[in-house]
Amino acid sequence: MYPIIEFCVSNLASGAQEALERLERDPNLDIIEYGCLGYCGKCSSNLYALVNGEVVTGDTTDELVENIYKFIDEFEI
């Protein structure tokens, strides 16, 4: 089973779209978009995604992608 990366559509519009597109190129990840993930406070202040249900953030697209991969490696997802 591949790690599941979930993105909020509002956060995609705020800049996370590039991260989603980069992660979609990885065949070992399952990427899902939702209308809302219920993390409005994080959504308004950071780029973020849920990785197997855990919040991972980044100040930039590069940092978000890097932090997602670090999280996956750290927890051997």
**pLDDT per residue over 9-53, tens digit each?**
999 999 999 999 999 999 999 999 999 999 898 888 999 999 999
Does residue 73 sit within a domain?
no
Q: Residue 72: inside a domain, yes or no? A: no
Whether 70 is covered by a domain: the verdict is no
Asked, for residue 10, whether it belongs to a domain, the answer is yes
Domain of 40?
1-48
For residue 32, tell me if it sits in a domain. yes
For residue 34, tell me if it sits in a domain: yes
User: Number of folded domains in the chain?
Assistant: 1
Would strands 47-51 and 4-8 be described as parallel, antiparallel, or unpaired?
antiparallel
Q: Which long-range contacts (CB under 8 A, 24 or more apart) does 57-64 make?
A: 58/19, 61/15, 61/16, 61/18, 61/19, 61/22, 64/16, 64/19
Question: What does the pLDDT read at residue 41?
Answer: 87
Tokens of 41: 């406070």
The single-letter code of the amino acid at 62 is D
Is residue 66 a part of any domain in this protein? Answer: no
Tens digit of each residue's pLDDT (9 = 90 or more) over 3-15: 999 999 999 999 9
In a domain, residue 53? The reply is: no
